């Protein structure tokens, strides 16, 4: 156990105090019934926070409704209002965990808006952060992705998602629940090796034996987050200096842009693509490799050589002329030709 009981109580209180102090309305706690979120609920109540509790029932396994009701009983014992949010959207065979995650945040945001809560707190831990960073590393993520989960981010207009326990190991929260006699659930999907996160969880102890601990991965995420924030601020400044809106599109000063480091050029082009934002169904996913290929292998060489260029990415048409001007606009719809019989 990495913390003595008393110091852990203080650590949880310190993590929650700034949020409880700054809240001008009720705070919504996302509580699944696992040890992490159960500890969050108890610690927030012990700190005297004006909080409400919500449990999302995804209905993905038998007994999930009874588990949500169990969270409600514990919340009632603590004197907290509890609401069960049920996911009733159509299911898909593939990508079920991602779909469930998206639904969970959407349901929490809608409920927070209904009760007037400006903050939604989840109990993601240091272990969750380490798993997230490693999964993104294996997926070939950018430095921005290696920053992992942010401690705080916008969730919906006027509502922010906050993760106050990101630097606290899961084992400490389990110990907190046991010491306080709090019942908690163990999600069987956490050990289901059909899911990549569960398979990775099995490998983490081996990585720790080589020195790659959750704490070190967490520090990597924090450092990547600092660098990402600095690069984002600089790229926004450059974007504001070289971009001009035009009817149905956007113009960039290519000669000015190509004098910037490649990391800034990539971010400026990414922001420009987002600015065009054509409607797509389904949405076009972002792939860093495709943006790198466009910028590093095509766009920058064309600007340097004074060549015209015409490419399409994420539903956006990108054109350069021989004078170094870059124009972005929504790409025309693809023509569909009927097959001859």
Spatial separation of the C-alpha atoms in residues 111 and 262, rounded to whole Å: 42
Do the annotations mark residue 26 as ligand-binding?
no
Q: Is the pLDDT of residue 101 over 60?
A: yes
Mean pLDDT to the nearest integer, 145-156:
94
Report pLDDT digits (tens) over 44-58.
999 988 999 999 987
Strands (DSSP E) found in 151-198? 152-156, 159-162
Do the annotations mark residue 34 as ligand-binding?
yes
Which residues have CB under 8 Å from 98's CB, separation 6+? none
Cβ pair 118, 25 in contact under 8 A? yes
Strand 51-57 relative to strand 27-30, pairing: parallel
Do the annotations mark residue 270 as ligand-binding?
no
pLDDT of 260 reads 97
Q: What pTM value is reported for the model?
A: 0.83
Retrieve residue 251's tokens: 């113009």
Q: Homologous superfamily of 5-222 in CATH?
A: HUPs (3.40.50.620)
Do the annotations mark residue 7 as ligand-binding?
no
* DSSP-based three-state secondary structure for 212: coil
* Cα–Cα distance list, 95 to 101, 102, 146, 196 (Å): 10, 11, 21, 11
Q: Is the pLDDT of residue 273 over 90?
A: yes
Q: In what order do the strands lie in the sheet with 316-320?
A: 243-246, 249-253, 325-330, 316-320, 309-313
Residue given tokens 């960039």 in the structure block: 252
Do the annotations mark residue 37 as ligand-binding?
yes
pLDDT of 317 reads 95
Spatial separation of the C-alpha atoms in residues 145 and 241, rounded to whole Å: 26
Q: Is the pLDDT of residue 297 over 70?
A: yes
Domain boundaries defined on the chain: 5-222, 247-330
283 confidence band (pLDDT: 50, 70, 90): very low
Report pLDDT digits (tens) over 109-143.
999 999 999 999 999 999 999 999 998 988 888 88
Do the annotations mark residue 33 as ligand-binding?
yes
Retrieve residue 178's tokens: 């046991």
């Amino acid at each position: 156990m990495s913390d003595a009981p008393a110091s852990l109580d203080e650590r949880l209180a310190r993590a929650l105090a700034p949020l409880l102090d700054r809240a001008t309305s009720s705070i919504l706690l996302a509580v699944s019934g696992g040890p992490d979120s159960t500890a969050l609920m108890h610690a927030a109540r012990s700190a005297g926070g004006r909080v409400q509790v919500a449990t999302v029932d995804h209905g993905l396994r038998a007994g999930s409704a009874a588990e949500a009701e169990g969270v409600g009983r514990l919340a009632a014992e603590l004197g907290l209002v509890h609401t069960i949010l049920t996911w009733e959207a159509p299911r898909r065979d593939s990508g079920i965990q991602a779909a469930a995650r998206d639904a969970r945040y959407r349901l929490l945001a809608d409920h927070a808006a209904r009760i007037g809560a400006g903050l939604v707190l989840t109990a993601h831990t240091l272990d969750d952060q380490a798993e997230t960073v490693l999964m993104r590393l294996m997926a070939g993520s950018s430095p921005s992705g290696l920053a992992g989960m942010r401690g705080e981010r916008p969730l919906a207009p006027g509502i922010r998602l906050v993760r106050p326990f990101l630097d606290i190991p899961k084992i400490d929260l389990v110990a907190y629940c046991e010491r306080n006699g709090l019942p908690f659930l163990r999600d069987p999907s956490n050990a289901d090796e059909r899911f990549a996160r569960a398979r990775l969880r099995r490998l983490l102890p081996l990585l720790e034996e080589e020195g790659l601990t959750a704490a070190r991965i967490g520090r990597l995420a924090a450092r990547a987050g600092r660098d990402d924030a600095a690069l984002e601020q600089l790229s926004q400044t450059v974007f504001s200096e070289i971009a001009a809106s035009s009817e149905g599109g956007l113009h960039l000063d290519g000669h000015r842009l190509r004098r910037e480091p490649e990391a800034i050029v990539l971010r400026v082009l990414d922001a420009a693509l987002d600015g065009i934002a054509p409607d797509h169904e389904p949405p076009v996913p972002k792939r860093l490799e495709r943006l790198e290929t466009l910028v590093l292998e095509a766009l920058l060489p064309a600007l340097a050589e004074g060549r015209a260029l015409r490419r399409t990415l994420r539903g956006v048409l990108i054109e350069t002329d021989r004078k170094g001007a870059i124009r972005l606009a929504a790409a025309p719809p693809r023509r569909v030709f009927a097959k001859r019989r």
